[in-house]
Amino acid sequence: MTGNRTFTMIKPDAVENGHIGAIMEKITAAGFKIVAMKYTQLSVRDAQAFYAVHSERPFFGELVTFMTRGPIVAAILEKSNAVEDFRALIGATNPEEAAEGTIRKLYATSIGENAVHGSDSDENAAIEGAFHFAGREVY
């Protein structure tokens, strides 16, 4: 199944703004199958570990505060070419640069509060999925 799975989170801003249903509709309409999903909240430790690659960046503290301030939806998605196709569906990190019709163009409010996460490689998709889900939670 290499290359066929990615990991996503609907971030706290999109949950607060009532966009869970609309975002899940866009994801499933684009042909992604949900193989794992949960509603949960990250602890500070969770967020620091999940975004450890950004720990030296100036926005790291802001990112951790944001990602822990409310619940998220975490999911593993399956589709051919999942990582690349999902990054195309969500659009650029900065919503001002995101293409029309992308999830971030529609629902993100800023570069920091950008509605959704999408894995950036097959390797990270596997690591991130395993961070959030036990094997028996993946269908």
Instruction: Note if 117 is an active site residue.
Output: yes
Q: What is the DSSP string of the chain?
A: -TTSEEEEEE-HHHHHTT-HHHHHHHHHHTTPEEEEEEEE---HHHHHHHTGGGTTSTTHHHHHHHHTSS-EEEEEEE-TTHHHHHHHHH--SSGGGSPTTSHHHHH--SSSS-SEEE-SSHHHHHHHHHHH--GGG--
Candidate ranges 11-19, 79-87, 94-102, 118-126; the one touching Mg ion (CB under 5 A): 118-126
Candidate ranges 6-14, 28-36, 70-78, 115-123; the one touching Mg ion (CB under 5 A): 115-123
Q: Looking at beta carbons only, is 21 or 58 nearer to Mg ion?
A: 58
**Residues catalogued as catalytic:** 117
Query: Which residues contact ligand ATP by CB under 6 A?
Result: 54, 59, 62-63, 93, 111-112, 114, 117-118, 120
